Amino acid sequence: MKIHSILVSVLCAAALVGCVDTAGMRVMVDTETGESTVLENSQRLANRLRVKTVTYDRVGELRKATITLESTTKKKLSIQGRMVWFDVEGVELDAEGKSYRTMVLDGLDFCTFTGVAPNAKGVRAKLQVRLTDSDTPSLW
């Protein structure tokens, strides 16, 4: 019976290796008012990553947001991020499933996420960042 419980524990741990921490950081940028807000930040990610700068601009009729993140740890950090856009009413404009972009930051490094609104209605951008578990040691 003891071997069975150990085997179950090892299999559960193995299933978790390489998983993604879905609770992450969400940064909202309003290009009309100039306000930027960290909406949510998981404690696990808050201890490793912070918002360094937030800027916004126009590219023709489209709005552009740029968010620079800084690693606050000396260890390698693997994150995934994506930027989605919303109109004035808060309706997501690119809802067809924008994929996450993977970034690996060496200790105390920076990374920048830039997004351009998909059309002229886009006024608010939200950067969603999640920590991947690829930087945690394997059990094997």
pLDDT tens figures, 50-104:
999 999 999 999 999 999 999 999 999 999 999 999 999 999 998 777 889 999 9
Query: What is the rounded average pLDDT of the residues 29-45?
Result: 91
Instruction: Compute the C-alpha angle 32/36/37, nearest 5°.
Output: 135
- The yes-or-no verdict on residue 35 having pLDDT over 90 is yes
- d(CA 76, CA 12) in angstroms, rounded, equals 25
User: What is the separation, in whole angstroms, between the first and last Cα of the chain?
Assistant: 23
The pTM assigned to this predicted structure is 0.77
CA distance 111 to 46: 16
Residue 110: per-residue pLDDT: 95
Q: Give the pLDDT of residue 53.
A: 96
Nearest to 29 by CA among 123, 129, 98, 92: 123
Mind listing the domains of the chain with CATH numbers? Answer: 20-132 (2.60.40.3230)
